[in-house]
Amino acid sequence: MEILNFIIPFTILLTVVVFVHEYGHYYFARKYGVGVTDFSIGFGKEIFGIKDKNGTRWKFCLIPLGGYVKFFGDRNVFSQAEQNELLKRYNESDRKKLFVTKPLYQRSLIVFGGPLANFILAIFIFAFIYMFSGKDFTPAKISEVQENSPAFSSGLKVNDVITSINNNKIRSVLEVSTHINTSTTNTIEVGVLRNQQTLTFLVTPKEILGEDNLGNSIKRKIIGIKISPLNNEFNKQKLGPATAIYYAVDETWFVTKSTLKFVGSMLKGKGDSSQLGGPIRIAKITGQVAQFGLIAFLSIMAYISISLGLINLFPIPLLDGGHLMFYAFEKMLGKPLSQKTQEGFFRIGLILLFSLMFFTTFNDLKDLGLF
């Protein structure tokens, strides 16, 4: 029964996020007249589905880890000769529905539509939360500075109000820990308000092995302070639509930027690769978060949606970003890359994706104590 507490929320979350991603592709495909034969949530054998009046088969498949949109006459066409051969198979009406006959900008938008939809979903979710649950704007006051801690050594004092971390404005007491732990630099620049003066301090955090709010083992950065609400009062406000969207976009951009910095730090050999997780860890965290209610569940859905959209934009063949990379080459060269070159890229992409899957699965199993 306990495993169902993880599987059910994870399946719901993944279904929504994948559906939105694939619908982004579908929307632009239909907008530009590309025929869509299949809209699938999951892979493998079809469990059930229906066909609409446009000839699209909407279906759920046995393996729910992903999905796809299949275009009319879908196949890889590497050369003009192959494209001409494909066109001979269809009459004039059907040719207009082929993806390969569309202008480069339309093909690019169709491919980009999936990640774009994921970012829009995240913005919508954050805005919904800020409008109906509220956003915290409680100033972060330092109530304690531990002796001989990084904060103590840097000059931070009790009653300082933290206003920024690494040039990111701190609007809430809840944001302090987030900005410290998402920092990828050795030192953190902390801006504070002290006696009506704005001061800046450089702090070198310590890294410790601890637990997150869900009880999962995690490496955390600490600087040796305790934070309290200014005047011991929490300030949570429900926002209007325009303001909520503004802060939702800001939050989506912050998560995107932090993720890119984290990936960059790993490529440089400085990031903590043990924090990378795959479906097992995501399912575990989703189940844990879902127990805290709808708002918490929607929040994790927004973060996963951003991650899915961002990962798909990486310039790796087999991902959306890989196709966009090919289109960029096509734009610069005036023609598509050769079949041999594209197949070489696809092999590299396949190796990278399988390596990433193996590594994240290993981390997941290690997190469960199986290694």
Question: Is-contact 219 208, C-beta < 8 A?
Answer: yes
Could you tell me which of 351, 322, 349 has the C-alpha nearest to residue 337?
322
> DSSP letters of 150-170?
HHHHHT--TTPEEEEETTEE-
What pLDDT is recorded for position 163? 93
Regions of the chain short of the pLDDT cut 70: 1-5, 75-84, 210-217, 269-279, 362-371
Per-residue pLDDT tens digits for 247-287:
999 999 999 998 888 888 777 766 666 666 666 777 777 88
2, 22, 46, 92: which one is catalytic? 22
Going from N- to C-terminal start, the domains of the chain cover 2-132
What pLDDT is recorded for position 59? 95
Summary mean pLDDT of the chain: 86
Per-residue pLDDT tens digits for 26-64:
999 999 999 999 999 999 999 999 999 989 999 999 888
Nearest-angstrom CA–CA distance, 188 and 170: 14
Q: Which residue carries 């079809």 as its tokens? A: 46
Helix (H, G, I), strand (E, B) or coil at 200: strand
What pLDDT is recorded for position 1? 44
Nearest-angstrom CA–CA distance, 241 and 249: 12
Is residue 276 exposed (0-12), middle (13-18) or buried (19+ Cβ within 10 Å)?
middle
Nearest-angstrom CA–CA distance, 168 and 148: 26
Annotation says 147 is catalytic:
no
What pLDDT is recorded for position 213? 61
What pLDDT is recorded for position 214? 58
